[in-house]
Amino acid sequence: MKDNEFLAINDNDEQVKCEIIHIFEFNNNSYIIYTDNKLDEDNDLNILVSRYEIINNELILYDVETDEEWDYIDKEWSKYNAF
């Protein structure tokens, strides 16, 4: 990661510059809320969430898998987004 940006590979194997919105911890895991700065079908900024690790200075993103994780993410986003 560089400052508040990182490069990700999308489903088409293309590099996409992403901007970090918020990073937090839950149950000994790290999570990142970020955007690829594209608009969704409602013309809202596309917001993404992943669990992550940094291995050998490389950011590795994982899918969020459990309802417990999603519940915590919703609470964390609500706190962050309230400002």
- The tens place of each residue's pLDDT in the chain, 83 residues long, gives 557 999 988 888 999 999 999 999 999 999 999 999 999 899 999 999 999 999 998 899 999 999 999 999 999 998 877 65
Give the per-residue pLDDT at 83. Answer: 54
What backbone phi and psi angles, to 5 degrees, belong to 75? -65, -45
Q: Tell me what pLDDT residue 81 has.
A: 75
* Radius of gyration from C-alpha coordinates of the chain: 13
d(CA 71, CA 69): 5
Residue 70 is part of which domain span? 5-81
Q: Which conformational region is residue 63 in: left (phi greater than 0), alpha (psi within -120 to 50 degrees), or beta?
A: beta
User: How many domains is the chain built from?
Assistant: 1
Q: What is the pLDDT of residue 82?
A: 64
Q: What gap in Å lies between CA 78 and CA 54, rounded to an integer? A: 26
